[in-house]
Structure 1
């Protein structure tokens, strides 16, 4: 498993919030739901994402574009961008006016559909929200900016740098069409179908977004093409529980320890053993969250010699003991 596969293997939606949104211009929504990650897909019209950070730039999305938005910070979605907010989306997707009057029933438009009456000028978006941070994975969240926007295939430059859209974005369009069909259905097992579609769409958007970043891509993504750092990443992800040392890893890569340390650190951004520690602890967190393996078994799987050693490293990184993490 490579680093990209390791990150994208994390999303596991469970009863995710999915909605088809219809909005007549001018409109503006203030998002305060504190969700760790939201996927926004524009089907028709335009939308502007306005991060809560005053220094952050707004992001304009047109039909066919997608964006991954990190929480839990508040942000605004509007069109035009200077439209004052008229609706607030709070925790648990509570929908109210600015004065707190509930709007869920007022703006309901059918199965998983919400907003204004639809016509040809209405902006249409599909929104998928992961409710719990553990469903996405700490390493994936840490690898993303506050907004990762992806231009639809065949639509000219994606940003001020003049980067053209990548054909890797084409699966996003196909999956968006499928989600739009399924989101309005009320069939047995539909929640599971929608959860898996959301996971697939998130993976497709992020893979396409990373592929087109070029020199701006994270170091670990660019390092995959390097014969030394890429080889080392593959080895660490392929056998994270192996008792690796810099010397052993360098020998497998066919280079000296100094060359390995220099190439790996320069491209990935941290030394090989520090990277391995983060990888092992992320894997341990996943095993604690999703399974019932004993702490000893988890420690053995991820390469720690004892439960005590794992507990010490885990608490230092996560601020919780493995037992506390699992309970939460």
Structure 2
């Protein structure tokens, strides 16, 4: 069982904003999309990523910047350049004052800018999935991280660059999949280069005791696990499992399982129309009442209220709460 894959499953590009911009200096784009995660890369030229809080970070050609939302941020030729244009979910080419830029910046499908051969070519994509399993992963990330040396992602970025300005049947699906692939590749590269800063559960997957236990919990989360049963399956004593798992993951096995079950329930509430009772049984709770009690303890709201908020487009509240926890860029 791949714990990272399960966590990334909650963060996906679905009909996502995916655009490129070509700019002459001085230039600055303010990203105000309001999503949990945005990916930015310079396909040509250099820039600065300026988070809502924290210091600006330089971006070289093909560096990948991941910015945790929903707070706005700016990408510019210089940190001192004021934003001239504003990127929103509705329009990639709006002026910063809110007026429409119109034909003056239109350069074809999913592209805006001053002229096709301008020295700066920026590409950006936005992700859904700020709660549940995806939110669990996002909480471990800094507000801004940068994966240097885009050569490791070269083939993927080449595909993206070739497809983003294309308009063919099924194009949005192609772009969504490419954006997902770019995210997975960037996170794996960043975790590999910064192992001490990777999520504890990610590092723990390589541990001979905690790793198998994590795989067992993720492989069958609805099973009525106890520490004794988990230890027996993992082939170690209860004491060894409890100590090693807590050291490596940061919390005891049953506490981890409870959080994972609720994360799964949150995704099912947001993405399906299954009843709360059926979701409860699917993630390991006896009935809707038991799930509701556990869900409210961790999320501060009942499952039905959470589902209504997500359906009403208010599903970013959790991501908003987490966005303020870490704004220091990590490079």
Please, what TM-score do these two structures have when normalized by structure 2? 0.86
- Matches of 1:134 and 1:266, distance apart in 2: 26
Structure 2 CA distance for partners of 1:87 and 1:150, relative to 1, 3 Å = same
Alignment match, 2:63: 65
Alignment of 1:1-328 (within 5 A): 1-53=1-53, 56-90=54-88, 92-93=90-91, 95-119=93-117, 122-130=119-127, 133=130, 137-152=134-149, 170=152, 172-327=153-308, 328=311
Contact 2:129 2:135 in 1 (8 A): no
Structure 2 CA distance for partners of 1:135 and 1:202, relative to 1, 3 Å = farther
Structure 1, unpaired ranges of 5+: 155-169
- Matches of 1:127 and 1:178, distance apart in 2: 14
- Matches of 2:103 and 2:261, distance apart in 1: 46
Alignment match, 1:164: none
Structure 1 residue ranges (4+ consecutive) displaced by more than 6 angstroms after TM superposition: none
Structure 2 CA distance for partners of 1:136 and 1:235, relative to 1, 3 Å = closer
Structure 2, unpaired ranges of 5+: 312-331
Equivalent pairs counted in the alignment come to 309
Please, what TM-score do these two structures have when normalized by structure 1? 0.87
Structure 2 CA distance for partners of 1:297 and 1:132, relative to 1, 3 Å = closer
Instruction: Give the C-alpha shift of residue 3 in structure 1.
Output: 1.8
Identify which of structures 1 and 2 has the higher relative contact order when contacts are C-alpha pairs closer than 8 Å and 6+ apart: 2
Higher deviation after alignment, 128-137 or 252-261: 128-137
Structure 2 CA distance for partners of 1:51 and 1:153, relative to 1, 3 Å = closer
| Aligned CA-pair RMSD | 2.1
Deviations 1:207-230 (A, max 9, x none): 221122122222111111111111
Instruction: Give the C-alpha shift of residue 135 in structure 1.
Output: 9.7
- Matches of 2:25 and 2:13, distance apart in 1: 31
SS at match of 2:115: coil
